[in-house]
Amino acid sequence: MSQKNARPLSPHITVYRPQITSVMSILHRITGCGLALSLVFFVWFIIALAMGESSYNLFIYCSTTLLGKLVVFMIVFALFYHMFNGIRHLVWDTGYGYNIQNVKKSGIIVAILAVVATIITSVMIAV
């Protein structure tokens, strides 16, 4: 706390049971940070392509190792989760879907869409 006089704090997140609303909210932020970090791979890809064949082949070699594939899989999931949940946020911005049943419903829809899109894309990348 940057405040000089420590004043009493209200109960913080640790006292609450995780709910779909809170978990999806923090996941949006975590995937966002992860995606920002994963831009390093886009930078690497485009620089390697600009530098020539040997550096491009090194990029391909690294991204097709088991670790590379795992990282790509995680990036793809984060991408779709952040995208679908972002669309959910955009819908909220128009003023719709604010009551708690709809928030839970749209949360479940986003989770399903993210998983399905990740599986389809991963299979298409692998094949």
Binding-site ranges for another protein (CB under 8 A): 1-5, 7, 29, 32-33, 35-36, 39-40, 42-43, 46-47, 49-50, 53, 56-57, 72, 76, 79, 83, 86-87, 89-90, 93, 121, 124-127
CA dihedral 98, 99, 100, 101 (to 10 degrees): -110
* Minimum distance, C-beta of residue 101 to another protein, in the bound complex (Å): 25
* Minimum distance, C-beta of residue 104 to another protein, in the bound complex (Å): 22
Tokens found for residue 43: 């930078």
* Minimum distance, C-beta of residue 49 to another protein, in the bound complex (Å): 6
* Residue 123: alpha-carbon gap to chain centroid: 19
Please name which of 102, 75, 74, 77 lies closest in space to residue 88, comparing C-alpha atoms. Answer: 102
* Minimum distance, C-beta of residue 40 to another protein, in the bound complex (Å): 8
- CB of 13 or CB of 101, closer to another protein: 13
| End-to-end CA gap in the chain | 51
- CB of 83 or CB of 103, closer to another protein: 83
How far apart CA 104 and CA 20 sit, in angstroms, is: 7
